[in-house]
């Protein structure tokens, strides 16, 4: 394994005895990396002729109810049309109970069997050829990435939203809601989504009145953010177009479990977005923006002018040894006020990363390129 990849492994040690970012040998990680598929959600169309008996009913036959979610149980959506079934599910959630689990090539046969069992649960038995003759309507591939210490998901997204995307692809603004920060770049057949996975999990815990997992608490305490990167192929034309690049004309669910395909797709989509950020942003230190966020968060009841004064003085304070800066500070406010504001600012400086955002983004690119599986949950947590 390359030296730089080994450094990435060492950067994130085990957090708790039973909460793991699994410590494996470089050789074991390299072998697992080849098999990591990272497929998340899938939507497939299965003709009714591939079932063992005539089924004339229409409508929703299966879905996850609120009571199921509270127990950590996830079921697929199965819908019956005139001549077909639609099967839609988050495979990691239905298979392992969490989408923090990374699907591997080795999981394929078990997942195909799980899909057959989902149909048997509603008294429908599929023919053996169902997996070869069904049509893929949507695929999502996703990777969770640990960010460097003290770098937030908002830092990354605020930087990436400056990307100048082309060819009918649109990029939105960073959205802040109960599930944390999120950013999407999309056109009519595909979408690249990046969002705060820790806040997403916290929201899910609140809504379902479930305890916060220990491994999430460990990350929060250590000020390590978790960003989720998803590529969603939402139309058959984009799915077939992508698989055609590797010589697959009519992709089946078997083709979805292709580690090389998933790795190339996620890396290409993320790198395209990063490369679209103009150079003036790539060279800018993002700690100024982060400092403003810190001051505003610590002073929610203060006026806008107070927050901006604090921010401006904190920037000027970096050059306090220069006489002209001292004179300028005295003109802005009296000595007591200057001392008070700077003392307030000093409380937040330890949380401000000094490196430019482009370096943190480069860390993400290296993590995706290394394609190492990230297992944040213990085997006990995911065994179903």
Residues paired with residue 171 on neighbouring β-strands, in sequence order? 185
Q: CB under 8 Å, gap of 24 or more: what pairs does 315-322 form?
A: 315/288, 315/291, 317/342, 317/345
Q: What is the pTM of this model?
A: 0.74
C-alpha torsion sign, points 60, 114, 230, 376:
positive
Q: What is the pLDDT along the chain (384 residues), one digit of tens a residue?
A: 334 333 333 333 333 333 334 444 555 555 554 578 999 999 999 999 999 877 778 899 999 888 888 888 899 999 999 999 999 999 999 988 888 889 988 899 999 999 999 999 999 999 999 999 999 999 999 999 999 888 888 888 878 887 887 655 566 666 655 556 888 888 889 999 999 999 999 998 998 888 999 989 999 999 899 999 999 999 999 999 999 999 999 999 999 999 999 999 999 999 999 998 887 666 555 556 666 666 677 767 777 777 777 766 666 555 554 555 556 666 666 666 666 655 655 544 444 445 678 888 999 999 999 998 887 764 334 444
Tell which residue, 214, 229, 222, 149, has the closest CA to residue 183: 229
Tell which residue, 199, 188, 184, has the closest CA to residue 231: 184
Domain parsing of the chain, residue ranges:
3-281+359-382, 287-351
3-state helix vs strand vs coil in the chain, percent to 5: 50, 20, 35
Q: What is the largest CA-CA distance in the chain?
A: 88
| Phi, psi torsion values for 234, nearest 5 degrees | -100, -5
């Amino acid at each position: 394994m390359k030296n730089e990849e080994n450094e990435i492994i060492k950067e994130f040690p085990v957090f708790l005895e039973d909460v793991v970012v699994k410590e494996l040998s470089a050789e074991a990680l390299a072998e697992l990396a080849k098999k990591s598929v990272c497929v998340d959600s899938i939507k497939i169309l299965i003709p009714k002729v591939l079932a063992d008996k005539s089924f004339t009913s229409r409508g929703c036959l299966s879905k996850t109810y609120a009571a199921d979610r509270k127990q950590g149980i996830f079921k697929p959506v199965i819908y019956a049309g005139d001549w077909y079934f639609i099967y839609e599910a988050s495979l990691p959630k239905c298979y392992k109970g969490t989408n923090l689990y990374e699907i591997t090539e080795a999981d394929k046969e078990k997942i195909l069997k799980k899909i057959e069992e989902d149909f048997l649960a509603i008294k429908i038995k599929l023919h053996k050829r169902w997996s070869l003759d069904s049509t893929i309507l949507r695929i999502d591939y996703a990777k969770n990435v640990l960010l460097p210490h003290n770098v937030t998901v908002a830092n990354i997204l605020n930087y990436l939203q400056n990307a100048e995307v082309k060819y009918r692809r649109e990029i939105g603004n960073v959205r802040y809601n109960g599930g944390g920060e999120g950013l999407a770049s999309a056109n009519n057949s595909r979408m690249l989504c990046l969002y705060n996975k820790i806040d997403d999990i916290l929201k899910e815990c609140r809504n379902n009145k479930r305890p916060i997992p220990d491994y999430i608490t460990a990350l929060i305490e250590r000020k390590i953010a978790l960003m989720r990167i998803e590529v969603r192929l939402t139309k058959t034309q984009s799915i077939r177009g992508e698989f055609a690049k590797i010589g697959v004309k009519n992709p089946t669910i078997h083709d979805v479990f292709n580690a090389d395909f998933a790795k190339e797709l996620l890396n290409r989509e993320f790198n395209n977005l990063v490369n679209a950020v103009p150079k003036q942003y790539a060279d800018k230190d993002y700690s100024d923006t982060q400092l403003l966020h810190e001051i505003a968060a610590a002073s929610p009841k203060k006026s806008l002018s107070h927050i901006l004064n604090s921010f401006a003085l904190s920037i000027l304070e970096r050059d306090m040894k220069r006489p002209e800066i001292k004179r300028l500070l005295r003109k802005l406010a009296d000595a007591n006020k200057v001392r008070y504001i700077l003392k307030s600012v000093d409380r937040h400086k330890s949380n401000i990363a000094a490196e430019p955002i482009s370096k943190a983004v480069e860390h993400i690119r290296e993590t995706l390129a290394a394609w190492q599986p990230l297992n944040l949950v213990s085997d006990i947590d995911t065994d179903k």
